[in-house]
Amino acid sequence: MIGLESAIAAIGAGLAILGGAIGTGLAQEGIGSAGMGLLAEKPESTGQVLLFLVIPETLVIFGFVIAILIMLAAGLI
């Protein structure tokens, strides 16, 4: 049977991933539109735009790592 502490830890882990995903979406919103504008003017800068789009994805990875740490501390995994 899962106790209240485990349930709160699971919710916290979910919120950690949710926060990272929302942060990534907000960051990529501006980067994507600016990147498309740059590609329209300079098509040779595709690698640079791709790099700028990949950098915010680390927020989701950080959220995932924090979620794993929360779950390990609560004994859920």
pLDDT digit string (tens) for 19-32?
999 999 999 999 99
Residue 48 sits at the vertex; the CA angle it makes with 43 and 53, to the nearest 5 degrees, is 110
Q: What is the pLDDT of residue 1?
A: 55
> Six-digit token pair at 31?
């980067």
Which residues contact residue 47 at a Cβ distance below 8 angstroms, ignoring those fewer than 6 apart? none
Q: H or E stretch including 14? A: helix 4-41
Q: Is 66 exposed, middle or buried (0-12, 13-18, 19+ CB in 10 A)?
A: middle
pLDDT digit string (tens) for 31-75?
999 999 999 999 999 999 999 999 999 999 999 999 999 999 998
